[in-house]
Structure 1
Amino acid sequence: MSSLTPLNQLITRFQEQTPIRASSLIITLYGDAIEPHGGTVWLGSLIQLLEPVGINERLIRTSIFRLTKEGWLSAEKVGRRSYYSLTGAGRRRFDKAFKRVYSSTVPAWDGSWCLVMLTQLAQDKRKQVREELEWQGFGAISPVLLACPRSDRADVNATLADLDAQEDTIVFETTAQDVMASKALRLQVRESWNIEELATHYSEFIKLFRPLWQALREQDNLLPSDCFLARLLLVHEYRKLLLRDPQLPDELLPGDWEGRAARQLCRNIYRLIFAKAEEWLNSALETADGPLPDVGESFYRRFGGLK
């Protein structure tokens, strides 16, 4: 157990989940900590690293097998040891998912919108397209019309092509408008993106991690193991939040939007503990060639700069 009470409470909270989301936590670990070090580790060191979180060896092996089967990881045997690496497809999925986590600011908005009409799609395909585009930040203006104030047309086209829906979907892009949102538009945003529910989740995140932030700041000599566990659980919970967050422009959000405070809190904690956490990772994880490779310069650009 850690000497930090708030950290112990976070670990207990994770362990009390039913079922324990081991695969999701392993995805967080790879995206946050293993990918910057080359993306490959020995399974045995991975088991030892996650043991303090309360995930037993059997569950880790089962989760790694599942992630391999789903195309996230690939395995390589060296002697009697197994080493797991991100696949090319897995790395692309990580890059896309974690880019949101470490960005320092939300990009500026010019007032333009991307609109996607689903009227010509079959019912089952319409549901599939809607779910995928909502994950990318689109909101439902109506059952057959989706909108996004900030989207990459290439990503939208690629998604529609992957779903075999491009020929039967109508996509419009509006020209830039006044970025000041009207009362009607703000009300529509609340309905289409369920802003109140998301704000509640951000408030819960702040309540969970503010005590940890205070405890970490009061420590004169932080333990590397504590910093690693705190960083893992911090990024894990924040990543899950961002999967629900459409990343709407500030102009469309309430003035007291809790997402801003949550991002600031996450950034502050991460900057405080990342270096000590790296010490623990370097001592605990192994590759087939021995110690982990050093992180690249891009790692230090997280949250607007870590150095």
Structure 2
Amino acid sequence: MPLDQLVTRFQQQTPIRASSLIITLYGDAIEPHGGTVWLGSLIQLLEPMGINERLIRTSIFRLTKEGWLSAEKVGRRSYYSLTGTGRRRFEKAFKRVYSSSVPAWDGSWCLVVLSQLPQDKRKQVREELEWQGFGAISPTVLANPRCERADVTATLQELDALEDSIVFETGSQDVLASKALRMQVRESWHIDELGEHYSEFIKLFRPLWQALREQENLQPADCFLARTLLIHEYRKLLLRDPQLPDELLPGDWEGRAARQLCRNIYRLIYAKAEEWLNAALETADGPLPDAGENFYQRFGGLK
């Protein structure tokens, strides 16, 4: 069964990235139901993943220390919720996962010139901006076809680099992507390497999609495991993906097929996975509250 292979593959990662999986679980499954669960029920839920109780407790402790989660004790039980900061970080990261399409692009660019920054500061700023989707088109010039000027300003201010950076914005253009520009994008954003990661995702999850479609009675526990691993792997890919406009990407871009596959699997199994979550997880008031309306808008609509 492809699902068993995916679970085994996850377990064989050394070290097992339990914190990262717990973040996926909170963002995908717990946040839509109010964002708070009893630690004991979380431990039971993740057991089939091969993550033992000690590792879950350590990971939860680390996420609390890093400001993602906060704990509340009721009697002898601990309940963990997303903090306000944690929730904001989630919304930013997970919005991209479930969006149904990439917004249209008018051909405008934001350019940040770092030539006046000291060498050590330049490296720091470059890394942070690349993480936000910028690509280096020369050693001191970073570019992004989609960005909010306010976000760039805030980032540069946080890094104490605003005074020594130069920010340009270009106007919209009729010719969105010339051959030279597409070649430049391929180099600056390592498009081929990212495409290979998407191909690997498709190879991993296409057999699962085929197996799930052939099953008459999908098991809630299997659907939960499949949904969690699917979103976990897809989220990791999106963290690397600058989400460039379609016009700048190759015609056979694997990112499109990966999104379609992720959406198809999710739509097929989400309801059964919800059954399992509702049965397995507890809050201080008892069962999980119903998922909010936003949940059903994922991937362009689930119902």
* TM norm structure 2: 0.99
Indicate the residue corresponding to 2:260 in structure 1.
Answer: 264
TM superposition shift of 1:124 = 2.1
Indicate the residue corresponding to 1:21 in structure 2.
Answer: 17
Indicate the residue corresponding to 1:212 in structure 2.
Answer: 208
CA distance in 2, matches of 1:125, 1:232: 38
Indicate the residue corresponding to 1:284 in structure 2.
Answer: 280
Indicate the residue corresponding to 1:251 in structure 2.
Answer: 247
TM superposition shift of 1:113 = 0.2
Q: Equivalent residues in 2 for 1:119-268 (5 A)?
A: 119-268=115-264
Contact 1:74–1:85 (CA<8 Å) still a contact in 2?
yes
Q: Which amino acid aligns with 1:232?
A: T
CA distance in 1, matches of 2:108, 2:144: 9
Which residues of structure 1 form unaligned runs of 5+?
none
Q: Which amino acid aligns with 2:299?
A: F
SS of the residue aligned with 1:275? helix
Q: Which amino acid aligns with 2:225?
A: L
Alignment partner of 2:8 out of 1, 6, 12: 12
* TM norm structure 1: 0.97
CA distance in 1, matches of 2:275, 2:124: 43
CA distance in 2, matches of 1:39, 1:125: 38
Q: Which deviates more from structure 2 when the two are superposed, residues 156-165 or residues 281-290?
A: 156-165
Correspondence 1:98 to 2:94? yes
Contact 2:106–2:176 (CA<8 Å) still a contact in 1?
no
Contact 1:7–1:230 (CA<8 Å) still a contact in 2?
yes
CA distance in 2, matches of 1:179, 1:98: 32
1:267-304 Cα offsets, whole Å, 9 max, x none, are 00000000100010011001111111111111111000
CA distance in 2, matches of 1:15, 1:169: 44
CA distance in 1, matches of 2:214, 2:41: 31
Q: Which amino acid aligns with 1:147?
A: A
Contact 1:109–1:179 (CA<8 Å) still a contact in 2?
no
CA distance in 2, matches of 1:122, 1:278: 52
CA distance in 1, matches of 2:164, 2:223: 50
Q: Residues 81 and 179 from structure 1, CA distance in 2 versus in 1: closer, same or farther, beyond 3 angstroms? A: farther
1:64-83 Cα offsets, whole Å, 9 max, x none, are 01111111111111111111
Instruction: Give me the identity figure in percent.
Output: 87
Q: Which amino acid aligns with 1:67?
A: L
TM superposition shift of 1:119 = 1.4
SS of the residue aligned with 1:272? helix
Q: Which amino acid aligns with 1:174?
A: T
CA distance in 2, matches of 1:127, 1:27: 28
Q: Which amino acid aligns with 2:115?
A: T
Contact 1:190–1:196 (CA<8 Å) still a contact in 2?
yes
CA distance in 2, matches of 1:168, 1:123: 12
Contact 1:110–1:179 (CA<8 Å) still a contact in 2?
no
Indicate the residue corresponding to 2:34 in structure 1.
Answer: 38
TM superposition shift of 1:179 = 4.1
**Deviant stretches of 4+, over 3 Å:** none
Count residues in correspondence: 303
Q: Which amino acid aligns with 1:33?
A: A
Q: Residues 34 and 66 from structure 1, CA distance in 2 versus in 1: closer, same or farther, beyond 3 angstroms? A: same
TM superposition shift of 1:180 = 3.5
SS of the residue aligned with 1:84? strand
Alignment partner of 2:105 out of 84, 109, 116: 109
Contact 1:179–1:251 (CA<8 Å) still a contact in 2?
no
CA distance in 1, matches of 2:35, 2:120: 37
CA distance in 1, matches of 2:28, 2:164: 38
CA distance in 1, matches of 2:236, 2:224: 18
Indicate the residue corresponding to 2:56 in structure 1.
Answer: 60
Q: Which amino acid aligns with 1:298?
A: N
